[in-house]
């Protein structure tokens, strides 16, 4: 059974492991072990995941996890920005559990949190080397509003926005 709940400190090592999976934009992959072996340290390059409570919750945001049959299989965070806007970050779903509505449930819960807190616009980004993520966000009503590319990247970052009703 799927449940969505707020992050707890005890979730950190599994969240780090989920974030560290190679090719996080990949399609469903039943060969990735479930449950994931916990990571021993935060992923490099993701300082917000080193202290989720401070980076998300204390900042007035939210950080949710998805549990399926007792296993942590997904995560997503929201941070308020300015002028009624919020940034969605760190959306991940375990490859062995994709295509089961977990990402949609996480996004729905974040959007509900945003509405409840008076936030009207949601922003997120993903990369062109993750076409399934792009399609996922577009199916949820997010519209591409910009692109960013650097010479050292082999992909382009796509910026998305959604106005909440």
CA distance 77 to 55: 10
**CATH code for position 25:** 3.40.630.30
Which domain, by its residues, includes 16?
2-122
Looking at the 3D structure of the chain, how many domains does it have? 1
Per-residue pLDDT at 40: 92
| Tokens matching residue 20 | 């560290």
In a domain, 151, yes or no: no
**Residue 12 forms part of a structural domain:** yes
The maximal CA–CA distance of the chain, rounded, in angstroms, is 44
**Each residue's pLDDT tens digit, 41-92:** 999 999 999 999 999 999 999 999 999 999 999 999 999 999 999 999 999 9
Mean pLDDT of the chain: 93
As a whole number of angstroms, the distance between CA 102 and CA 22 comes to 19
The Cα 96–Cα 30 span in angstroms is: 4
In a domain, 102, yes or no: yes
Residue 131, SS3 per DSSP: helix
164 domain-assigned: no
- Residue 139 covered by a domain: no
Task: Please check whether residue 109 lies inside any domain of the structure.
Answer: yes
**Domain membership flag for residue 61:** yes
pLDDT band at 21 (very low <50, low <70, confident <90, very high): confident
Q: Residue 41 corresponds to which tokens in the numbers above?
A: 């340290």
Q: According to the model, what pLDDT value does residue 32 have?
A: 83
Residue 105 pLDDT exceeds 90: yes
SS3 (DSSP) at 43: coil
Confirm whether 141 is domain-assigned.
no
């Amino acid at each position: 059974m799927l449940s969505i709940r707020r992050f707890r400190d005890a979730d950190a090592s599994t969240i780090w492991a989920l974030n560290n999976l190679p090719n996080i934009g990949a399609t469903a992959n039943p060969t990735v072990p479930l449950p994931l072996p916990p990571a021993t340290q935060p992923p490099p390059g993701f300082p917000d995941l080193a202290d989720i409570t401070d980076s998300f919750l204390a900042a007035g945001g939210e950080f949710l996890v998805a549990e399926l049959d007792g296993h942590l299989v997904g995560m997503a965070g929201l941070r308020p920005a300015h002028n009624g806007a919020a940034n969605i970050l760190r959306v991940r779903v375990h490859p062995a559990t994709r295509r089961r509505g977990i990402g949609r449930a996480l996004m729905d819960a974040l959007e509900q949190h945003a509405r409840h807190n008076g936030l009207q616009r949601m922003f997120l980004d993903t990369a062109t080397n993750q076409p399934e993520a792009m399609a996922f966000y577009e199916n949820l009503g997010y519209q591409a509003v910009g692109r960013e590319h650097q010479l050292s990247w082999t992909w382009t970052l796509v910026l998305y926005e959604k106005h909440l009703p």
